[in-house]
Amino acid sequence: MSSGTLTCYTTNQLLAQFSEFDPIVRHWAAQRIAGMCATNSAISNAITPQIIALTTNANPWVRSAACDALASLKTAAALDALVARLGDTDVWTRFKAGQALNNLGTVTLPKLTNIMSAFVSNAVDNPLVSINWNDPCGWGNGYLSDL
């Protein structure tokens, strides 16, 4: 499968790709949906609430793909859902939520206290001494440091 293959998929088929094992497929599906929303406001109005709802899905792959799509959509409507994902148990979901918040820019200012709290909660006490083996490179907080 390639990113070009996804051009003939419906939005429901693309959303189904959010649960695929391969993170590249999930990313391509998220980018394709974001592209469809950028060119068609009716699709955007219909699918954006669905994507926001997917940020609470039981499957961490679906949650991270939803955050990935929201990063490209840059919609302020997703602010609360993205901030909530900063405390996610899945590192990649936290990373994608941080990336999406970073893309929102100053819209995030009302939630800055929540974002800072999540940053501190996800950090290790002393990174020179201890390593969080679930996130050894600190990806979960990576984009939050750019806000």
- Mean pLDDT, to the nearest integer, of 75-101? 93
DSSP state of 109: G
Q: Residues 82, 55: contact at Cβ < 8 Å?
A: yes
> Rounded distance, CA 147 to CA 132, Å?
22
Predicted confidence (pLDDT) per residue in 26-49, tens digit: 999 999 999 999 999 998 999 999
Does the model's pTM come out above 0.85?
no
The rounded mean pLDDT for the chain is 86
Handedness of CA 96, 100, 103, 106 (dihedral sign): negative
Residue type, 101: L
Residues 6+ positions from 50 with CB-CB distance below 8 Å: 15
* Chain-centroid distance, C-alpha 54: 10
Which of 3, 6, 8, 11 has the alpha carbon at shortest distance from 44? 11
Residue 33, both tokens? 């949906």
